[in-house]
């Protein structure tokens, strides 16, 4: 029995990856949920817009690297982030102008707008592949580890290693800051309040003199910021590949729906629920249990509930369960 080693193994393989993945999902789900709450449609183009924004950041990062600019131990991509967000925001506003605005004026059914977003998705998909190609891109630089396995073992003398990567720390810190900024904006500023009013009751908001086009514009800019940050963090922490970003659409929607579509707090909670379910269900608990239980009870098998191949199935399953039993989500969002 060795609880300390058990905890370190748990932290290394479940807690830290789960928190990092959960933060990335939460940021992505926030974007989905804001579009749903204020613009009132499910944005299928979200994953590919994220790929687009990350691609812009990657190209800018490469530019900075060529110029010899670096950010010390932190990745250069963080410096490229603001400009990347600005460019992506312009692209999103442009998309809204040429695609979504028309349907908004016509007061089209949400399902029609969803189909339009599907078209946007395919176009974004193609643009990203044309510019940067379908392959993996690695753009992380700076120090790789805050704590690496060898140092940890030398420092503590434990048999289990704990590693903490720079990108994980950046992910958690940046996600925290972004969420704080978003909530401050929504709750304290006049524009934020008008957005919430518009989301709660469109007609009433229009009657009280809120300019709907302005609300829509601000929403797209915020969504662009959240999306590019989520994409860049995911790319730094894992790797950038357009197809992977497209696939993230499913966990994003699962997270947003589990939390309650349209509810920002729910999106964050949903992100972590999905992340920890995916990691927890596919993790082989043998090592942790081996350390935590008395020797006599040490498991022989791997104690893995599902093979890692079924990771996406976990998102699907949670999505189905929530839709069946609590369609409005954990945090009382709009029913789907």
- How many whole angstroms separate alpha carbon 193 and alpha carbon 298? 55
Question: What are 183-190's contacts with CB under 8 Å, separation 24+?
Answer: 183/264, 185/222, 186/264
Instruction: Confirm or reject binding of residue 41 to another protein (CB under 8 A).
Output: no
Task: Find the part of the chain contacting another protein (CB under 8 A) among 206-214, 254-262, 283-291, 323-331.
Answer: 283-291
Closest residue by Cα to residue 328 from 260, 265, 241: 260
Instruction: Confirm or reject binding of residue 15 to another protein (CB under 8 A).
Output: no
Pair of tokens at residue 169 = 């720390």
Binder of another protein out of 209, 295, 309, 324 (CB under 8 A): 309
| Minimum CB distance to another protein, residue 227 (Å) | 16
Q: What residues from 121 to 160 belong to the interface with another protein (CB under 8 A)? A: 136, 144, 148-150, 152
Instruction: Confirm or reject binding of residue 21 to another protein (CB under 8 A).
Output: yes
Binder of another protein out of 196, 244, 332, 336 (CB under 8 A): 244
Q: Which is nearer to another protein, 212 or 299 (CB)?
A: 299
Residues paired with 165 in a beta bridge: 145
Binder of another protein out of 287, 292, 315, 319 (CB under 8 A): 287
Instruction: Confirm or reject binding of residue 243 to another protein (CB under 8 A).
Output: yes
Q: Which is nearer to another protein, 10 or 182 (CB)?
A: 10
Closest residue by Cα to residue 225 from 100, 84, 93: 84
User: Taking CA 13 as the corner, what is the angle to CA 11 and CA 14, rounded to the nearest 5 degrees?
Assistant: 65
In three-state secondary structure terms, 44 is coil
Q: Which is nearer to another protein, 286 or 334 (CB)?
A: 286
| Minimum CB distance to another protein, residue 13 (Å) | 4
Instruction: Confirm or reject binding of residue 302 to another protein (CB under 8 A).
Output: yes
- How many whole angstroms separate alpha carbon 173 and alpha carbon 23? 9
Contact criterion met (CB below 8 Å) for 59 and 150: no
Binder of another protein out of 241, 323, 332, 334 (CB under 8 A): 241
Pair of tokens at residue 8 = 């370190």
- How many whole angstroms separate alpha carbon 19 and alpha carbon 276? 8
Contact criterion met (CB below 8 Å) for 217 and 34: no
Q: Name the burial class of residue 40, with classes exposed (0-12), middle (13-18) and buried (19+) by CB atoms within 10 angstroms of its CB.
A: middle
Q: Which is nearer to another protein, 46 or 165 (CB)?
A: 165
Instruction: Confirm or reject binding of residue 272 to another protein (CB under 8 A).
Output: no
Binder of another protein out of 7, 282, 327, 330 (CB under 8 A): 282
Which residues in this chain contact another protein in the complex, by CB under 8 A?
12-14, 17, 21, 136, 144, 148-150, 152, 161-163, 165, 234, 238-241, 243-244, 278-279, 282-288, 302-304, 307-309, 311
């Amino acid at each position: 029995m060795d609880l300390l080693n058990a905890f370190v193994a748990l932290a290394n393989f479940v807690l830290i990856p789960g928190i990092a993945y959960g933060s990335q999902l939460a940021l992505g789900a926030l974007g989905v949920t804001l579009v749903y709450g204020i613009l009132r449609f499910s944005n299928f183009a979200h994953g590919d817009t994220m790929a687009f924004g990350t691609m812009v950041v990657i190209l800018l990062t490469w530019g900075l690297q060529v110029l010899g600019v670096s950010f010390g131990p932190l990745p250069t991509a963080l410096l490229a982030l603001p400009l990347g967000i600005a460019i992506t925001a312009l692209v999103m506003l442009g998309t809204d102008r040429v695609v979504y605005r028309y349907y908004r004026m016509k007061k089209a059914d949400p399902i029609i707008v969803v189909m339009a977003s599907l078209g946007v998705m395919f176009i974004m998909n193609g643009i990203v592949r044309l510019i940067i190609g379908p392959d993996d891109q690695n753009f992380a630089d700076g120090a790789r580890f805050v704590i690496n396995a060898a140092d940890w073992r030398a420092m503590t003398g434990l048999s289990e290693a704990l590693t903490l990567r720079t990108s994980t720390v950046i992910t958690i810190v940046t996600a925290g800051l972004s969420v704080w900024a978003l909530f401050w904006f929504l709750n304290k500023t006049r524009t934020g309040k008008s957005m919430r009013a518009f989301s709660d009751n469109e007609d009433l908001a229009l009657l009280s003199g809120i300019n709907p086009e302005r609300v829509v514009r601000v929403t797209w800019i915020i969504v662009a910021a959240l999306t590019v940050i989520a994409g860049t963090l995911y790319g730094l922490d894992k790797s950038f590949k357009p197809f992977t970003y497209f696939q993230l659409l499913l966990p994003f929607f699962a997270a947003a729906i589990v939390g309650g579509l349209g509810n920002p707090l729910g999106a964050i909670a949903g992100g972590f629920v999905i992340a920890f379910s995916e990691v927890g269900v596919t993790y082989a608990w043998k090592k942790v249990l081996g350390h935590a239980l008395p020797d006599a009870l040490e498991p022989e098998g791997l104690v893995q509930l599902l093979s890692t191949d079924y990771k996406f199935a976990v998102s699907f399953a949670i999505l189905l369960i929530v839709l069946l039993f609590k369609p409005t989500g954990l945090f009382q969002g709009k029913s789907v």
